[in-house]
C-alpha cells in the first residue's frame, strides 16, 4: 500500500470512515487514534506511541497480536484456494475440518456449525434457525425471544433489538410488532428495589421466578428461546450468581424453550476453557454463538453451533426437495476457517486455557488491590475478563452522575500513560490477550492506579467528589 503521512491518514479517516459507537461531535475535531502496528500484548499508533492493549483489540485477540504462523496460514490458503461458494453440495477443506473440530470442542451434542462473518450475524442466524425449527415442528406461534437488560448481542437489526443496553437505543427503531422482550440482568451490585437484601441463592430464585412469570405471561406456546451471555461483557462485566445459568436452563427445559448461550466473548479461552457454558457454569445450552476469539481477530469469523436435536428437525425437508434457504456468500470462508484452525492449534499447543486459569485469579487480585482508591466502587470479573465500576465514594457507593464522564476520564489518563482500557459509562472493562504475563499485569496495575488517582484529582477539581 502507498505510504501516507500521519496527518493524511487522520484526515482520510475523519472525513470518510464511519466508526461504530462514535460521538460525531467530538470526532469532528478530535478524529481517531490510528493504530499501525501490533505485537504480542502491545499496539503502536501512528505517532509511534506504544500501549499495553488491555482489551485485546475488542475482546478478541486471544493469542496475541502479530503471529507469523497466522500470517503464513492465511497466505497459504489464499494461494491454494481463496474462495469457492459453500452453497448446496459444494464445500472446502478448512470449513469442513473446522466444523468437526468445533463439534469436538463444544459441549454435549452441539455437533453442527452454521458459519457467519461475526457475532451479530451469528446471533441473527441462530434466531432464524430457531424460528424455522419451530415452524418445522408445527409450532408456528412459538417465536418470542427473551433477552436481558444490559445484554449485548450485536448490531444487526435483530441482534440490536436483543441488546438490552439502554444507551444503544437512541433514536434507532425497534422491530415492529416486537417478538423480543427483556427481563432483569443478573446484577448483584444493582439488585432492584425489594431485592437488595437477597443472598446469591435467593437472588437466583428471584430471577428464575421473573423468567418463569414472563414465559407464563407470554404463553409458553409463544416462547421460542432465551438468549444470555455467560458473563455479560459490554453491559459491564456482570458475573451472575453461581447456579444462575443452571436455574434459567431448568426453566427453559420445563417450558420447551431453547437456551442460546452467546459466547462471543467468553469462548476460546477468556474464562480458561474453549467454551464456558458447561466447563464453567455446568450448563449445556441448545445453541452456542461464538466469534471474536475463534480467529483471534486475525480475520472475521463467527458461528452458531446447534444441537443434534435442532439439526435433526431443521434438516428435514419442508416439502419435496425443500431447501434450508439461509446462508451467506462467505459462509465457511476457507481463509477464515484455516486461520481459526491455526488459532485453535496455537491455543492447544501453548496450553493457553491452562495459563488463563492460572494467571486469571492473579489479574483479578491485582485489580482488587486498587480498592483503597475512593472512587473504586466494585471490580467484577473472572479470569481474564474484568470490569471496574466507579462511584463518588466507595464507603457509601454513592453513584457519580453521567456528566462526570468518569470512564472516559480514566481511559484518557490510562492512554496517556501507555495503557488501553475500554470506557463504558462509569465503568472501564479489560480483557487482555490471553498470553499476558504477571509482569504485564503488574505494570497494568501500576498505570491503572495512577490513572485513577489523576481522575480523582480532576473530579475533585470539578466538584464531583
Ligand X SMILES: Cc1ncc(COP(=O)(O)O)c(C=O)c1O
> For ligand X, which is the closer residue by CB, 158 or 459?
158
> For ligand X, which is the closer residue by CB, 260 or 310?
260
265 binds ligand X (CB under 6 A): yes
Count the residues of the shown chain that bind ligand X, applying the rule CB under 6 A. 15
> For ligand X, which is the closer residue by CB, 264 or 456?
264
Three-state secondary structure call for residue 424: strand
Cα separation, 350 vs 344, whole angstroms: 10
Cell of 389: 465500576
> For ligand X, which is the closer residue by CB, 35 or 93?
35
Q: List own/partner pairs for 26-33 with CB under 8 A and 24 or more apart.
A: 33/415
By CB under 6 A, which span of 40-48, 92-100, 112-120, 171-179 interacts with ligand X?
Answer: 112-120
CB 111, min distance to ligand X, A: 22
> For ligand X, which is the closer residue by CB, 99 or 238?
238
120 binds ligand X (CB under 6 A): yes
CB 310, min distance to ligand X, A: 20
> For ligand X, which is the closer residue by CB, 291 or 366?
291
Cα separation, 379 vs 384, whole angstroms: 13
124 binds ligand X (CB under 6 A): no
The dihedral through the CA atoms of 210, 214, 219, 222 has a sign that is negative
Cα separation, 465 vs 457, whole angstroms: 9
260 binds ligand X (CB under 6 A): no
* Residue written as grid cell 475523519: 14
229 binds ligand X (CB under 6 A): yes
Among 114, 115, 152, 376, binds ligand X (CB under 6 A): 152
Cα separation, 339 vs 335, whole angstroms: 6
By CB under 6 A, which span of 31-39, 214-222, 257-265, 328-336 interacts with ligand X?
Answer: 257-265
Cα separation, 124 vs 245, whole angstroms: 22
Distances in Å between the alpha carbon of 282 and those of 9, 40, 133, 250, 278?
A: 48, 32, 25, 12, 4
Among 40, 118, 236, 334, binds ligand X (CB under 6 A): 118
Return the residues of window 275-294 that contact ligand X according to CB under 6 A.
291
By CB under 6 A, which span of 114-122, 189-197, 212-220, 419-427 interacts with ligand X?
Answer: 114-122
CB 370 within 8 A of CB 286: no
CB 349, min distance to ligand X, A: 26
Three-state secondary structure call for residue 45: strand
Backbone φ/ψ region at 17: left (φ over 0), alpha (ψ -120 to 50), beta: beta
DSSP state of 73: H
297 binds ligand X (CB under 6 A): no
297: Cβ contacts below 8 Å, ≥ 6 apart: 56, 57, 58, 60, 61
CB 235, min distance to ligand X, A: 9
Among 55, 73, 208, 234, binds ligand X (CB under 6 A): 234
Alpha helices in 244-394 (DSSP H): 244-254, 276-279, 308-314, 334-349, 352-368
By CB under 6 A, which span of 30-38, 73-81, 228-236, 339-347 interacts with ligand X?
Answer: 228-236
CB 307 within 8 A of CB 110: yes
Identify each DSSP E strand in 80-186 by its residue range.
110-116, 144-148, 180-183
By CB under 6 A, which span of 125-133, 229-237, 337-345, 407-415 interacts with ligand X?
Answer: 229-237
By CB under 6 A, which span of 151-159, 186-194, 201-209, 269-277 interacts with ligand X?
Answer: 151-159
268 binds ligand X (CB under 6 A): no
In degrees and rounded to multiples of 5, residue 358 shows phi and psi of -80, -45
127 binds ligand X (CB under 6 A): no
119 binds ligand X (CB under 6 A): yes
Among 65, 153, 342, 380, binds ligand X (CB under 6 A): 153
Residues near ligand X (CB under 6 A) are: 118-120, 123, 152-154, 229, 233-234, 262, 264-265, 291, 302
Amino acid at each position: 500500500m502507498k505510504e501516507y503521512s500521519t496527518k493524511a491518514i487522520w484526515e482520510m479517516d475523519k472525513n470518510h470512515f464511519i466508526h461504530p459507537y462514535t460521538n460525531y461531535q467530538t470526532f469532528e475535531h478530535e478524529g481517531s487514534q490510528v493504530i499501525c502496528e501490533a505485537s504480542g500484548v502491545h499496539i503502536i499508533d501512528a505517532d509511534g506511541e506504544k500501549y499495553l492493549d488491555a482489551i485485546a483489540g475488542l475482546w478478541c485477540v486471544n493469542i496475541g497480536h502479530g503471529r507469523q504462523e497466522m500470517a503464513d496460514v492465511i497466505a497459504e490458503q489464499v494461494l491454494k484456494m481463496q474462495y469457492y461458494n459453500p452453497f448446496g453440495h459444494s464445500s472446502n477443506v478448512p470449513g469442513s475440518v473446522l466444523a468437526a473440530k468445533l463439534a469436538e470442542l463444544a459441549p454435549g451434542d452441539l455437533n453442527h456449525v452454521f458459519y457467519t462473518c461475526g457475532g451479530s450475524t451469528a446471533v441473527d442466524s441462530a434466531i432464524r434457525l430457531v424460528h424455522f425449527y419451530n415452524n418445522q415442528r408445527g409450532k408456528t406461534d412459538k417465536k418470542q425471544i427473551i433477552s436481558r437488560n444490559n445484554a449485548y448481542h450485536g448490531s444487526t437489526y435483530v441482534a440490536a433489538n436483543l441488546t438490552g443496553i439502554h444507551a444503544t437505543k437512541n433514536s434507532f427503531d425497534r422491530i415492529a410488532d416486537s417478538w423480543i422482550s427483556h427481563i432483569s440482568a443478573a446484577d448483584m451490585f444493582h439488585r432492584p428495589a425489594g431485592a437488595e437484601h437477597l443472598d446469591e441463592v435467593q437472588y437466583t430464585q428471584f430471577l428464575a421466578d421473573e423468567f418463569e412469570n414472563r414465559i407464563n405471561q407470554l404463553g409458553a406456546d409463544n416462547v421460542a428461546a432465551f438468549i444470555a451471555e455467560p458473563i455479560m461483557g459490554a453491559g459491564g462485566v456482570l458475573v451472575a450468581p453461581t447456579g444462575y445459568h443452571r436455574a434459567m436452563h431448568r426453566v427453559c427445559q420445563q417450558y420447551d424453550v431453547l437456551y442460546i448461550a452467546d459466547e462471543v466473548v467468553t469462548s476460546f479461552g477468556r474464562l480458561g476453557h474453549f467454551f464456558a457454558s458447561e466447563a464453567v457454569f455446568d450448563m449445556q445450552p441448545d445453541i452456542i454463538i461464538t466469534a471474536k476469539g475463534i480467529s483471534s481477530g486475525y480475520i472475521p469469523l463467527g458461528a452458531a453451533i446447534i444441537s443434534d436435536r435442532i439439526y435433526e428437525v431443521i434438516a428435514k425437508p419442508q416439502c419435496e426437495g425443500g431447501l434450508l434457504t439461509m446462508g451467506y456468500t462467505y459462509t465457511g470462508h476457507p481463509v477464515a476457517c484455516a486461520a481459526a484452525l491455526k488459532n485453535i492449534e496455537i491455543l492447544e499447543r501453548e496450553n493457553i486455557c491452562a495459563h488463563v486459569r492460572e494467571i486469571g485469579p492473579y489479574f483479578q487480585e491485582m485489580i482488587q488491590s486498587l480498592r483503597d482508591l475512593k472512587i473504586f466502587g466494585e471490580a467484577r470479573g473472572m479470569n481474564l475478563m474484568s470490569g471496574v465500576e466507579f462511584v463518588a465514594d466507595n464507603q457509601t457507593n454513592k453513584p457519580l452522575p453521567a456528566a462526570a464522564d468518569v470512564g472516559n476520564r480514566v481511559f484518557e489518563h490510562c492512554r496517556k500513560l501507555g495503557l488501553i482500557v475500554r470506557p463504558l459509562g462509569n465503568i472501564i472493562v479489560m480483557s487482555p490477550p490471553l498470553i499476558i504475563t504477571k509482569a504485564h499485569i503488574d505494570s497494568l496495575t501500576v498505570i491503572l492506579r495512577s490513572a485513577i488517582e489523576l481522575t480523582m484529582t480532576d473530579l475533585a477539581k470539578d466538584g464531583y467528589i
